[in-house]
Amino acid sequence: MSRPLVPGLVAEGETDEIFLGIVISRQLRDLTTESSRCAVDVEGTEIAACRSILDHERVVDALAELAADCHLLFVHNDHRERDKADRIAGDSRLPMPVIPMVPLRETEAWLLADRAVWGRLSGSALDRLPDRPRDVEKVSDPKRALANVAPRRGKPVRDYFDFIARNIDLAVLAQVPAYAEWVADARNALKGLGYL
């Protein structure tokens, strides 16, 4: 018999929800394959009805609402709001662990980490990608960098978020320090919840 694991997410915007929602579920599946305690059935990430750019109380209320259906919660903010994510994660009213997901600059940087996944998209400007996955944290404007890498087929850049999320190599992505930080926090939370 398997034990369900439903993650919940409050993120800043729609593209963050698309990318992070998929990546969270994939990463948790990867982490729980290590479990010697039980078989774990990781379900799709539940997305909150509000965005993390709203005030503290509304974000905490959204996470509390997610907690009714979820086992582990995530709050995403870009680097300018790191303190906000940390305060929300530490709010004692939330009945379960809340993991902050805060890239060094913006989530779009994480989409640039895996050269191979972009190589699968004809027309991608691979020469505009950083040399090493961890170097995405040095990109000063990740949104612009992503626009410069994405194929120019008349599709908006946001159309690539789902594909990249489903196909990015998680081991490559884990070479990005800010990404590795939330993964380590999630692993510790899973241990505390008895999944690992």
Residue 59 counted as domain residue: yes
Q: What is the pTM of this model?
A: 0.94
25 and 65 inside one domain: yes
Looking at the structure, tell me whether residues 20 and 96 fall in a common domain: yes
pLDDT score of 140 more than 80: yes
pLDDT at 185: 97
Inside any domain, residue 174:
no
Together in a domain, 93 and 186: yes
DSSP of 68-79 = TT-SEEEEE--G
pLDDT recorded at residue 1: 66
Q: Are 3 and 38 in contact (CB under 8 A)?
A: yes
* Mean residue pLDDT across the chain: 94
d(C-alpha 165, C-alpha 95), whole Å: 29
In a domain, 132, yes or no: yes
Percentage of the residues of the chain whose pLDDT score is greater than 90: 85
* Residue 17 domain boundaries: 2-102+181-192
The verdict on 6 and 98 lying in the same domain is yes
71 and 119 share one domain: no
Asked if the model's pLDDT at residue 134 lies above 90, the reply is yes
Is there a single domain that holds both residue 14 and residue 53? yes
Pick the more confident residue, 196 or 30: 30
Count the Cβ atoms, other than its own, within 10 Å of residue 146. Answer: 26
> Residue 18: helix, strand or coil by DSSP?
helix
Tell me the helix, strand and coil percentages in the chain, rounded to 5: 50, 10, 40
* Whether residue 10 is found in the same domain as residue 40: yes
Q: Is 66 part of any domain?
A: yes
Number of domains in the chain: 2
Same domain for 139 and 112: yes
pLDDT confidence of residue 81: 76
Report the CATH number at residue 57: 3.40.50.2300
- Model confidence over 147-170: pLDDT tens digits? 999 998 778 899 999 999 999 999
Cβ 82 vs Cβ 51: under 8 Å: no
Residue 173 lies in a domain: no
Does residue 118 sit in the same domain as residue 77? Answer: no
Sign of CA dihedral 98, 102, 108, 114: negative
In a domain, 172, yes or no: no
Please provide the size of the chain in residues.
196
Asked if the model's pLDDT at residue 29 lies above 70, the reply is yes
Same domain, 130 and 58: no
Give the model confidence (pLDDT) of 56-101 as tens digits. 999 999 999 999 999 999 999 987 777 899 999 999 999 999 999 9
> Is the confidence at residue 45, as pLDDT, over 90?
yes
Statement to judge: residues 141 and 53 lie in one domain:
no
Of 81, 73, 61, residue with least CA distance to 13: 81
**Domain check: are 92 and 147 in the same one?**
no
